[in-house]
């Protein structure tokens, strides 16, 4: 500290810039085949998601439906991009599907993603997504669906 600023404290930063934007994404199976909602695919998804931080990807809340996956994902865009992550996820789950005797193709070529811009957006989308199994008539309450959860807590903190 110099004499002129001795005793003054640094002010807290007003802005925090996140290097890992949060996305809401949906990945669908080829021809909407019902091949995802089972224990082996769920375990494969969880193994992949838990290894994500090593590569710059964190999976938050997710719902694995029979023909699609909804997930909230944070990507360290200095290390990885969302398309590369999605391709790796598809490859990992496809390996499990092939081991289970399910012939390819397994996936639609594209996926849907939406950059989350606020805590309200995250909460609103999660409330919608978690009800998918109920709307599909698979369970009476979303908590009963066994193929859903949260791998990493992805709190949304405003940058402003």
Domain assignment present for 79:
yes
Does 116 reside within a domain?
yes
pLDDT at 16 over 50: no
Q: Tell me, what's the pLDDT at 6?
A: 52
Q: Which two tokens stand for residue 132?
A: 């998918």
By percentage, how much of the chain surpasses pLDDT 90?
A: 66
Could you tell me if residue 8 is inside a domain?
no
- The number of domains in the chain is 1
Identify whether the C-beta of residue 138 lies closer than 8 Å to the C-beta of residue 120: no
With 50 as the cut, is the pLDDT of residue 158 above it? no
9: in domain: no
112 forms beta bridges with 26
The answer to whether residue 132 is domain-embedded is yes
Question: End-to-end distance of the chain based on CA atoms, in angstroms?
Answer: 29
For residue 11, tell me if it sits in a domain.
no
pLDDT tens digits for range 22-71: 899 999 999 999 999 999 999 999 999 999 999 889 999 999 999 999 99
Cα 48 versus chain centre, distance? 11
Is the residue at 62 inside a domain? Answer: yes
Cβ atoms of residues 20 and 159 within 8 Å? no
Total-model pTM = 0.82
What percentage of residues in the chain have a pLDDT greater than 70? 84
- Euclidean distance between CA atoms 91 and 106, whole angstroms: 9
- Tokens 């290097």 sit on residue: 19
pLDDT (average), residues 65-83: 91
2 domain residue, yes or no: no
Across the chain, what does the average pLDDT equal?
A: 86
Summarised one tens digit per residue, pLDDT across range 84-129 is: 999 999 999 999 999 999 999 999 999 999 988 877 788 888 999 9
71: domain CATH number is 3.30.70.1290
Q: Write out the residue range of the structural domain in which residue 107 sits.
A: 19-150
58 touches 151 (CB < 8 A): yes
pLDDT of residue 8: 54
């Amino acid at each position: 500290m110099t004499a002129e600023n001795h005793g003054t404290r640094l002010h807290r930063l007003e802005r925090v810039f996140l290097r890992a934007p949060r996305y809401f994404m949906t990945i669908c199976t080829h021809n909407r085949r019902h091949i995802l909602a089972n224990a082996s695919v769920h375990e494969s998804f969880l193994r992949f998601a838990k290894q994500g931080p090593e590569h710059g990807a964190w999976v938050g809340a997710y719902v694995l439906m029979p023909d699609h996956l909804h997930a909230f994902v944070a990507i360290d865009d200095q290390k990885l991009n969302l398309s590369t992550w999605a391709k790796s996820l598809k490859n990992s789950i496809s390996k499990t599907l092939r081991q289970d005797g399910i012939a390819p193709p397994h996936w639609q070529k594209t996926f849907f993603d939406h950059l989350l811009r606020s805590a309200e957006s995250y909460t609103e989308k999660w409330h919608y997504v978690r009800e998918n199994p109920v709307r599909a008539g698979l369970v009476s309450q979303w908590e009963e669906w066994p193929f859903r959860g949260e791998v990493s807590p992805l709190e949304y903190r405003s940058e402003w």
